[in-house]
Every structure is written in structure tokens, then in C-alpha cells.
């Protein structure tokens, strides 16, 4: 479920909106009726690597490679 609030309402109701996001709702924040940001619950086990991966997927459309997977791919290409 998703709700939309303007910036002024978001400022006044931040605690409530964070609680709703934590409960699983997506909260869209708008300015002049145009969406500019959203709040949503983070996964409970979100670590630094998972946060970086989620950012890369959202921003660039791909997951970063671990050094181990990069090395194995490199080694495999060198053998062929």
C-alpha cells in the first residue's frame, strides 16, 4: 500500500510516517503534486554490503561484484 503526502505534512507527521513505513507501507513525499522522495522499510538484515548492492542496482542497474567472483570470472576468461 502507498500513501502520498506533501512536504509540510511530512514534516508535521514524520514519526507517524516512519512508523507506517516500518509497518510496510510506502510513503511518497511530494512537492507541488510531484513525487520527490519515498520512505520504505529497510530489510531487517541490511548490512553495509547489502546496502551498497541495493544502491547500485537502483542507481546503475547492476550488482557490484565481490572480489572473489571478479577473480573467478577473470581466471575463467584467461583459460579460454
pLDDT, tens digit, for every residue of 42-78?
A: 776 667 777 777 777 777 776 666 667 666 665 555 5
Say which residues have a Cβ less than 8 Å from residue 56's Cβ, sequence separation at least 6: 62, 63, 64
Alpha-carbon dihedral sign for residues 48, 43, 56, 27: negative
CATH 3.40.1620.10 positions along the chain are: 1-41
Give the three-class secondary structure for 56. Answer: helix
How confident is the model at residue 42, as a pLDDT? 75
How confident is the model at residue 55, as a pLDDT? 75
CB 20 within 8 A of CB 27: yes
**Does residue 29 carry a pLDDT above 60?**
yes
Burial class (CB in 10 A: 0-12, 13-18, 19+), 21: middle
Which CATH entry fits the domain spanning 1-41: 3.40.50.300, 3.90.1070.10, 3.90.1860.10, 3.40.1620.10? 3.40.1620.10
How confident is the model at residue 75, as a pLDDT? 57
Amino acid at each position: 500500500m502507498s500513501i502520498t503526502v506533501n512536504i509540510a505534512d511530512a514534516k508535521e507527521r514524520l514519526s507517524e510516517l516512519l512508523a507506517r513505513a516500518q509497518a510496510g507501507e510506502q510513503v511518497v513525499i511530494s512537492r507541488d503534486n510531484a513525487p520527490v522522495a519515498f520512505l520504505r522499510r529497510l530489510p531487517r538484515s541490511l548490512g553495509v554490503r547489502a546496502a551498497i548492492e541495493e544502491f547500485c542496482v537502483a542507481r546503475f542497474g547492476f550488482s557490484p561484484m565481490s572480489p572473489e567472483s571478479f577473480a573467478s570470472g577473470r581466471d575463467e576468461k584467461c583459460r579460454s
